[in-house]
Amino acid sequence: MEPLLEIKNIETYYGLIYAIRGVSLDVEKGSITAILGNNGAGKSTILKTVMGLIEDQPDKGSIFFMGKTIHGKDTEVIVRMGISYVPEGREVFEELTVKENLLMGAYTRKDKSGIREDFERIYQHFPVLRDRESQWAGTLSGGEQQMLAIGRALMTRPKLLMLDEPSLGLSPMLVSEIFNIIKEINRQGVTVLLVEQNARMALGISHFGLILENGRFVMKGKSKDLMEDKDVQEFYMGVRSEESVKGYQRWKRKKRWR
């Protein structure tokens, strides 16, 4: 099966600094694919490169969406082709209402009846947005702004939804709610590419996972397999192996007697 999104050996720079180095990945249609890694690994850069948000990048490599080349195209063209992006930090229009923010997501569309249908669909996902419809977006809580940012992205009717750190700054309860909604969006037919530091939550809802370190993928596989990998558990999920726990205890005993 041809992947919905195909990235081949891309390299992206910020000035003279490598951000991503020879990165390749496929996103299967209908899947949730998670990219994991620490701060500064280059995760967000991959999404921005796909969206054409970094000028004259990628420097090398190719990006295909539904079999068509998209690298080098304007962001608006990429959105019209069916890719939508929720940036880290939400970036809602604070001085517009919730409804106006959602309408901004539909700026490329002319089908008024379809837009009304999508309003209802988004309000089903996020009932609080219906209650806040006339409220300025800047007065919403962090969790409500994240819901609004996802809702705005869905107003484009994307085939691929890319999410950058959707759990950032949210309480555990809200994180669980947001991730359940992402699963539901995927069940309704939207392919998802997810960048996330919360490895446990991301691997828990995704089909495939990739781990990025210093601009390169160091591990790929099915999410259920990655969750069982001891290195992933220890370094990305906070689960210490018996050996590492014993080593820590020995270090602690030595420190106590200094």
pLDDT of 67-88, one tens digit each? 999 998 999 999 999 999 999 9
Residues 208-255 pLDDT 10s: 999 999 899 999 999 999 999 998 888 888 765 555 445 445 534 544
Cα 159 → chain centroid: 14
Q: Is position 250 within any domain?
A: yes
Classify residue 46: in a domain, yes or no. Answer: yes
In a domain, 51, yes or no: yes
Residue 137 in any domain: the answer is no
pTM of the predicted protein model:
0.88
Percentage above 90 pLDDT, the chain: 71
Here the CATH number for the domain that contains residue 168 is 3.40.50.300
Query: Using 50, 70 and 90 to split pLDDT, how confident is the model at 134?
Result: very high
> 38-42, 148-152, 213-217: which has the minimum mean pLDDT?
38-42
Asked, for residue 231, whether it belongs to a domain, the answer is yes
216, part of any domain: yes
Q: What is the pLDDT of residue 70?
A: 95
Instruction: Kindly state whether residue 105 falls inside one of the protein's structural domains.
Output: no
In a domain, 228, yes or no: yes
